[in-house]
Structure formats: C-alpha cells, structure tokens
Amino acid sequence: MQNVYKAFGRRPESIVKKLKEGATREELKSQGMAAVIDASFEVPQGEIFVVMGLSGSGKSTLIRTLNGIQPATSGTVEIFGQDITKVNSRRLRSIRREKIAMVFQHFALMPHRTVGQNAAYSLEVRGMNRSDREKKATEALNLVGLRGYGGQRPDQLSGGMRQRVGLARALAAETDLMLMDEAFSALDPLIRKEMQDQLLELQQDLGKTIVFITHDLNEAMRLGSRIAMMRDGKIVQIGTTEQILNDPANDYVAQFIQDVDRTRVLTAGEIQEPPVALLGSEQGPRAAHRLMRENQTSSLCVVNQSRVLQGVVYEHDIAEGVAAGKETLSGLIKPMPATHEDTYLAELMTAASEHAAGLAVIDESGKLLGVIPRVTLLNAMADPTPTSSVQTIYQEVAQ
C-alpha cells in the first residue's frame, strides 16, 4: 500500500486534504477521526508482516483498507498487482474471495455447522462442489492438528481448538495472502504460544504472505519478519525485531520495547562469534597447544574434516598431553554443548551456568558455525543487545 489515508466523519476527503496540508489529527477531531494517516509498506511473498500498536492506533482500520472492507479515503492498495481502490465492488468481492483469507480474534465460526463445514466455508462460497471442499477442509484441519474433529460442533471445542478451526478455514481457502487480526489475542498464554509456534511451522512449508495485527510486542517479535509500529494512525517505524530493539525510531517505540524480555527475542545466532580456533581432530596436542598460544585462548573446538563438531579441548589437558608425548588428541576431547542459531537466549540459561567453555553453534548436520564463549553469553543475558562487532580470529581447519 502506498500513502494510504482512512478518515471517518461526514467529509472524510476534506479531513485527508487537511492532513496532507499539514493539519494534525488532534486539530481535525471535531470533523471526524483520521484512523490511518499516510501508511505505506510492501509485503513480499513469504513474509509475516506484523502491524503493532496500542488500542486505537489504527491497526484494524489499516487491515480493513487492505481487504477493501473499509476502502481507503486516499492512496493505493495493491493486492498481487491489482489496485483494489480502483476496482468496482463486484470485482473487489471476487478478489477478496479468491486472494485473501482472514483470521479473526473471535473465531467467527458458525455454531450450527460442523467443524468441517466451517473449515470448508470459503470454498462453499466460491461454489466448489461438496466432495472437493470436504477433502480440502479435512486436509486443512489435519494441518492445524484437528484430525478427526470435522464432525464436531464448534461449541464442543476449547478456545484454542476453535481458533485452529479459524486458521484451518483460512488455509483451506488456499489464498496467497492471509490477514490475521489479533488472531491469538483471546487465547490464554500457553495456547497462544502454541498457536504462534504452529503458525511459524506452517509458514515454513506454505510460504504465504501474512499481515498479522497484534497489540502484543512479544508476539510481534516472535512472529514478525518485519514489524510496523503504529501510533495515532501513523506508521512510526518499520523494521526487523533486531532493528527495532537496537535502533528505535523515537521515544514512543523506545518506551514500548523497554519491557521486552530480550532474551526471548534474541537468538544464539545473533551473539555467536566466529570459532576462536578450529583444529582437525587428526592433529595432536602440540598443534593444539600452538593454536591456543597464538589465539590466547584456553580452549579449542575440535572438528573433523567435514567441520562437524567433535568436542572441545582444554589447555590443562593439552599441556598434560604434550608433557606425556601424546601424538593424538584421543582421550583429551570433552563433549561441548551445542545449540542452533535460531535458539532464543532465554533457552540457553542453563548452558551458560554449567559449562566453562561456552557453547558451540552448529547447523542441522552438526557443522560448527560459531561459538558463544561463556562470558559473552553471560554478558548477553545481563545486557541483551546483539554484539555489533566481533573480533575475528578465525583459523581454518586443515583441509
């Protein structure tokens, strides 16, 4: 969307005109409400774009201009190349039906229909025949973990399960764009987290374009590829979690993020450092000793030829190995705790307290990507901002 305004009142166009001439929302209050002021953003395919702001900041109005339920007073709204502010209402209804799925806070399920019929609803509206839509609805229910529930009525399900039906209905529609308005806000915290995890997992496979509205910053940061922060109708900042945490655009955003538990949004990948030194496991204690001296470190990660992590060796063991004239590292390599790049810092607490050398960061196949020295991890816990520059002392493994 580009330069979108939405005003309510008797003469919305006049409110927008005055806004463009520099009037503030406050000054125009007697004439109506400027709910969205000059909003512009683009959401690439596959992104979860979160719109975040306090109650009344204009989030719901913004999302309604996106599906055309409340047409923008001014500006353009393009859905897959089609400007929906310029099409007639019939065409708009068809775009909404074919291209956009919605998930609402209060589920909006039809109580007298079965779960399966609810999930199939958007397909029914499209005129799909019964057997095809039942098949697709069942597939969608399976995807959200409701296998076998198709015959039940919504009131037989818990709140969390009802929201899964809402999600299944949106997925069954197989649209590329999904709009989610406070979709998880009515759920209790544990179920809410489960739903967030599920959405992230589904999104990995489905790669939809999602616009997700929330007033909860932690939710925004867990889900959002990027976040738009709204205040009084305006988008005051658009950025990734990291950008917003590290470089809040103004005091409003800064105040918002004050209470965020950063250990729950920062990941291991954001504080990892290049491995201090790597050593092919075929090398002996002398080589290890030399590398430790060169890099002024008291421990080394050990990897094999494929750079898969084998463990860690410590200075005192290596010194003993050298003294005993050992030719290999066998018996000297200790296990090293490892994590993945996308693990949240909060989940690394125990690792930090228990292990002297710190943590290795590995990929799916066990290859060493980086290390988090214990002191870095403890510092990050105490002051969780991502390290901006890391001194690179990187030693290639013998190939």
Ligand X SMILES: Nc1ncnc2c1ncn2[C@@H]1O[C@H](COP(=O)(O)OP(=O)(O)OP(=O)(O)O)[C@@H](O)[C@H]1O
DSSP element (H, E) containing 139: helix 130-143
Residue 185 in contact with ligand X, rule: CB under 6 A: no
Of 59 and 226, the one with the shorter C-beta distance to ligand X is: 59
Sheet strand arrangement including 299-303: 278-280, 299-303, 309-314
Query: d(Cα 122, Cα 264) in Å, to the nearest integer?
Result: 36
Taking CB under 6 A as the criterion, the residue among 215, 231, 286, 289 binding ligand X is 215
| Count of residues interacting with ligand X (CB under 6 A) | 12
For residue 15, the minimal CB distance to ligand X (Å) is 11
CB 137 within 8 Å of CB 119: yes
- Name the residue among 128, 145, 243 with its Cα closest to residue 199: 145
Strand, coil or helix: what is 313?
strand
Q: For ligand X, which stretch binds (CB under 6 A), given 50-58, 74-82, 167-175, 366-374?
A: 50-58
The β-bridge relationship of strands 338-339 and 209-214 is: unpaired
Contact status, residue 317 vs residue 299, Cβ threshold 8 Å: no
Q: Among 53, 75, 116, 284, indicate the residue that binds ligand X (CB under 6 A).
A: 53
Closest residue by Cα to residue 165 from 195, 188, 189, 185: 195
Beta bridge partners of 178: 101, 210
**Residue (6 or 374) nearer to ligand X, CB:** 6
Give the H/E segment covering residue 226.
strand 226-231
Nearer to ligand X by Cβ, of 8 and 252: the residue is 8
Q: How far apart are CA 165 and CA 151, in angstroms?
A: 12
58 binding ligand X? (CB under 6 A): yes
Q: Is 33 in the site for ligand X (CB under 6 A)?
A: yes
Strand partners, 4: 39
Q: Which stretch binds ligand X (CB under 6 A): 54-62, 167-175, 297-305, 361-369?
A: 54-62
- Which residue of 4, 35, 167, 368 would you call a contact of ligand X, by CB under 6 A? 35
Mark the segment that binds ligand X (CB under 6 A) among 48-56, 122-130, 315-323, 352-360.
48-56
Q: How near is the Cβ of 36 to ligand X at its closest, in Å?
A: 7
Beta bridge mates, 302 = 279, 311
Residue 30, interface with ligand X (CB under 6 A)? no
Is there binding between residue 109 and ligand X (CB under 6 A)? Answer: no
- Per CB under 6 A, does 59 bind ligand X? yes
CB of 61 to ligand X, least distance (A): 3
| 60 near ligand X (CB under 6 A) | yes
**Of 14-22, 58-66, 146-154, 386-394: span binding ligand X (CB under 6 A):** 58-66
297 vs 279: CA distance, rounded Å: 13
Between 50 and 123, name the residue whose CB sits nearer to ligand X. 50
* Binds ligand X (CB under 6 A): choice among 61, 74, 122, 237: 61
Which span sits near ligand X by CB under 6 A: 59-67, 189-197, 274-282, 286-294? 59-67
**Nearest CB to ligand X, comparing residues 4 and 372:** 4
Contact 219, 192 (CB under 8 A): yes
Instruction: Give yes or no for residue 169 binding ligand X (CB under 6 A).
Output: no
Contacts of residue 29, defined as CB under 8 A and 6 or more positions apart, other chains included, come to none
Length of the chain: 399
Of all helices (H) and strands (E), which one includes residue 214? strand 209-214
Residue 12 interacts with ligand X (CB under 6 A): yes or no: no
For 24, 65, 114, the CA distances from 153, given in Å and listed in that order, are 49, 32, 5
Question: Is residue 365 a contact residue for ligand X (CB under 6 A)?
Answer: no
Instruction: Identify which of residues 194 and 216 has a Cβ nearer to ligand X in the complex.
Output: 216
57 lies in the binding site for ligand X (CB under 6 A): yes
Residue 1 near residue 78, CB atoms below 8 Å: yes
Residues that bind ligand X (CB under 6 A): 8, 33, 35, 53, 55-61, 215
